[in-house]
Amino acid sequence: MPITVQCDFDGTITEGEVSHLLLDRFAEGDWRREVKLFESGEISVATCMKRAFAMVKADESTITNFILNSDRWKFRPGFNGLYDYCLKKGFRFVIVSNGLTFYIKAILGSIGVDDIEIIAARSRSSSRGMLLQYPGPDGRETDSDFKEEYTRYLEKQGYRVVCLGDSISDIFTARRAYRVFATGALREHCRREKIAFTPFKDFGEVVRGLEKLPEEPSGL
């Protein structure tokens, strides 16, 4: 079976939560209350993000300029090496993130990367705040667990899914994944649920872990 690396963005590809950084700067309200409701299981992550970003009235250009000039986040070391390795091995590499597509593209573009498959929130600025939509695999908006839906979709396509993540929003993928590489809070969530995982601090460790995966049997 072919392999897809399903990778989170904020806190995984980046060190630092980009969405939290821009909410701190631009949200006109208590967005952290929504995060607490999500973490306690009272609302979905999609609902959390929609409510939080409804407090943001800045446009995408202003937000992008702020993020690209901020020193409060950086790329996790080894990202380019990981992506190059996946291309070399023929692994599908897809970012599935609860973050916003426009800033993910801008951040990747800042290092000349513009060919990665990105599945994340679509956004539109308005006088009522930023409006978000999460497209499911069928193209229709979803408000359930966004990441799990795509994990199931990839499995149905015949892929073995490798999960890379850092938070509780990645636990749904981790439960189903063929292999799990965890950093941040996802490590503790995996321990609690007795999910086998490989911890990592940089993507060089992930590449070394991927190198240990069994080779696909050759055809007859």
Q: How confident is the model over 9-51, as pLDDT tens digits?
A: 999 999 999 999 999 999 999 999 999 999 999 999 999 999 9
Domain spans in the chain, listed from the N-terminal domain onward: 3-16+73-211
- The CATH class that applies to domain 3-16+73-211 reads alpha beta
Dump pLDDT digits (tens) for 181-203: 999 999 999 999 999 999 999 99
What is the model's pLDDT at position 13?
Answer: 99
- pLDDT at position 174 is 98
pLDDT of 161 higher than 60:
yes
**pLDDT at 219 exceeding the cut of 50:** no
Could you read off the pLDDT of 49-67 as tens digits, one per residue? 999 999 999 999 999 999 9
Dihedral (CA of 154, 160, 163, 169) sign: positive
Confidence grade of residue 129 (pLDDT, cut at 50, 70, 90): very high
What pLDDT, on a 0 to 100 scale, did the predictor assign at position 145?
A: 77
